[in-house]
């Protein structure tokens, strides 16, 4: 304990908590914030996705995309440790053209909508019911007698690419498990012509997304592709009264358009399978990108804790819940200290554990469910509560700790669980009940 208490560069004032959070962020983001590595990986991932989607559109013009949007933590610059996950929303061109579909004001659940296809030719191409109500276009390949789903078409496209490259795929009808290269070569998977040092080695149909595993510059990473519809009149679906936060609702409305995605809704046939889910991703991304540095750093700090728990037990909070808690706080923040901000966010998370849901800040009527993981949640929350208490002895890193830990992250020289334990160990804050290496920081 004594070692990490004698740091000369720890200031003895309220900024200690600030320093602790900023230092932690600088450690866990030391690799993902390296713009040279990062920019190159991003460019290559995008090029592969773009090319794959072009091939897919050649195979089935319904799936031509008008936009490929980078979303999620990568876009928000809140990624921690490795650049290992990329999320894209792919806008279906045909369904997103003005007037092609219209919202059916019906008995849809909060956050969901039905679409009626107005254009005869379009209705003929897509899976619609007798009233021209559009079905989701993302379903498992075991559904027969209906047009191919987006994912199945992507999978078939990849198979064709493999054939052209004389490469064998080990696959079933939802997954490419491996790419078998017979010739003697350095390649580790399928190649895409625009980026010949990037390999695709696995792919999987998920509901509702499609997952690719790539190797880019030697990094293994996953790409999550989610097809979406851009609906051209947000006012038909959303109004200022839908949210408790008028400024937030205004930001959604000012965008003019709103996105809908397919949603996992159980097996088929199922009437719910015609529901599309509204997504506020664009506004969310924008809010997180423009958060104050304090709020953004708290969010990344929480993600780091979450990740630690995930490696020893399991995720106390889905990272989406952490994000919503931070957004909710940022909408009402009038606090002058970082401890005040963190305390409020911990309170929001505490309520979420108690109620087993967190209210969507976008929609009064929509609750984001979260399964209770009581002990883990309590443990997670109590560490954070301790840090915000007035009497707290806030630990901090020495300069040399920061340098050392940053280099471990950058060079990927330690397994994630060990690294996360080491970071917390340097601070003397390990979860109370953790059975792992109890004596490590004595």
Where do contacts with Zn ion occur on this chain (CB under 5 A)? 333, 335, 341
- Please say which residue, 43 or 293, places its beta carbon nearer to Zn ion: 293
Q: Are 398 and 7 in contact (CB under 8 A)?
A: yes
- Please say which residue, 141 or 340, places its beta carbon nearer to Zn ion: 340
CA dihedral of residues 307, 313, 319, 324 (deg, nearest 10): -120
**Shortest Cβ 24–Zn ion spacing (Å):** 18
Alpha-carbon distance 442 to 430, whole Å?
11
**C-beta atoms surrounding 292 within 10 Å:** 11
**Shortest Cβ 248–Zn ion spacing (Å):** 15
**Shortest Cβ 72–Zn ion spacing (Å):** 23
- Please say which residue, 281 or 330, places its beta carbon nearer to Zn ion: 330
- CB neighbour list of residue 417: distance below 8 Å, 6 or more residues apart: 311, 312
**Shortest Cβ 340–Zn ion spacing (Å):** 7
- Please say which residue, 57 or 333, places its beta carbon nearer to Zn ion: 333
Q: Write the CA distances from 46 to 53, 179, 198, 219, 353, integer angstroms.
A: 11, 21, 11, 15, 37
**Shortest Cβ 73–Zn ion spacing (Å):** 20
Q: Are 316 and 380 in contact (CB under 8 A)?
A: yes
Alpha-carbon distance 344 to 338, whole Å?
10
Q: Are 336 and 15 in contact (CB under 8 A)?
A: no
Which H or E run contains 190?
strand 190-192
Q: Are 430 and 421 in contact (CB under 8 A)?
A: yes
- Please say which residue, 47 or 333, places its beta carbon nearer to Zn ion: 333
Relative to beta strand 219-231, strand 85-92 is parallel
**C-beta atoms surrounding 23 within 10 Å:** 25
**Shortest Cβ 383–Zn ion spacing (Å):** 19
- CB neighbour list of residue 305: distance below 8 Å, 6 or more residues apart: 380, 383, 384
**Shortest Cβ 4–Zn ion spacing (Å):** 27
- Please say which residue, 123 or 333, places its beta carbon nearer to Zn ion: 333
**Shortest Cβ 336–Zn ion spacing (Å):** 9
- Please say which residue, 143 or 333, places its beta carbon nearer to Zn ion: 333
Q: Write the CA distances from 409 to 48, 82, 84, 221, 415, integer angstroms.
A: 27, 8, 13, 16, 10
Using only C-alpha atoms, the chain has a radius of gyration, in whole angstroms, of: 24
- Please say which residue, 360 or 388, places its beta carbon nearer to Zn ion: 388
Place of tokens 């300069």: 399
- Please say which residue, 204 or 331, places its beta carbon nearer to Zn ion: 331
**Shortest Cβ 330–Zn ion spacing (Å):** 6
Name the 3-class secondary structure at 263: coil
């Amino acid at each position: 304990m004594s070692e990490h208490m004698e740091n000369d560069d720890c200031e003895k004032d309220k900024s200690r908590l600030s320093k602790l959070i900023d230092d932690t962020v600088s450690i866990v983001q030391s690799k993902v914030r390296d713009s040279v590595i990062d920019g190159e990986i991003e460019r290559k991932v995008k090029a592969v996705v773009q090319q794959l989607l072009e091939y897919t559109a050649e195979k089935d013009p319904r799936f031509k995309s008008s936009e490929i949007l980078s979303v999620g933590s990568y876009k928000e610059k809140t990624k921690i440790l490795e650049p290992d996950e990329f999320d894209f929303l792919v806008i279906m061109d045909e369904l997103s053209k003005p007037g092609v579909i219209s919202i059916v004001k019906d008995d849809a659940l909060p956050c969901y909508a039905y679409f009626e296809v107005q254009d005869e030719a379009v209705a003929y191409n897509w899976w619609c019911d007798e009233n021209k109500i559009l079905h989701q276009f993302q379903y498992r390949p075991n559904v027969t007698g209906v047009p191919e789903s987006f994912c199945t078409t992507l999978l078939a496209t990849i198979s064709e690419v493999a054939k052209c490259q004389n490469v064998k795929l080990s696959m079933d009808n939802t997954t490419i498990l491996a790419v078998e290269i017979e010739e003697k070569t350095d390649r580790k998977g399928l190649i895409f012509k625009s980026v010949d040092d990037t390999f695709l080695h696995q792919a999987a149909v998920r509901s509702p997304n499609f997952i690719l595993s790539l190797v880019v510059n030697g990094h293994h990473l996953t790409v999550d592709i989610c097809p979406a519809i851009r609906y051209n009149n947000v006012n038909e679906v959303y109004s200022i009264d839908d949210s408790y936060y008028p400024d937030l609702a205004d930001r959604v409305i000012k965008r003019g358009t709103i996105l809908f995605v397919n949603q996992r809704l159980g097996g088929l046939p199922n009437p719910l399978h015609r529901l599309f889910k509204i997504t506020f991703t664009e506004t969310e991304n924008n809010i997180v990108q423009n958060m104050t540095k304090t709020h953004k750093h708290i969010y990344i700090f929480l993600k780091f804790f979450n990740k630690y728990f995930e490696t020893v037990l399991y995720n106390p909070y889905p990272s989406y819940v952490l994000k919503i808690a931070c957004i909710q706080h940022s909408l009402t923040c009038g606090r002058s200290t970082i401890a005040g901000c963190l305390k409020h966010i911990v309170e929001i998370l505490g309520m979420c554990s108690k109620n087993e849901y967190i209210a969507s800040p976008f929609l009064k009527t929509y609750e984001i469910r979260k399964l209770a993981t009581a002990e883990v949640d309590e443990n997670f929350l109590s560490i954070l509560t301790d840090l915000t208490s007035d009497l707290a002895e806030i630990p901090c890193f020495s300069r040399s700790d920061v340098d050392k830990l940053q280099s471990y992250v950058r060079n990927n020289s330690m397994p994630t669980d060990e690294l996360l334990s080491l970071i917390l160990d340097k601070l003397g804050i390990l979860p109370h009940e953790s059975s792992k290496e109890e004596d490590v920081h004595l």
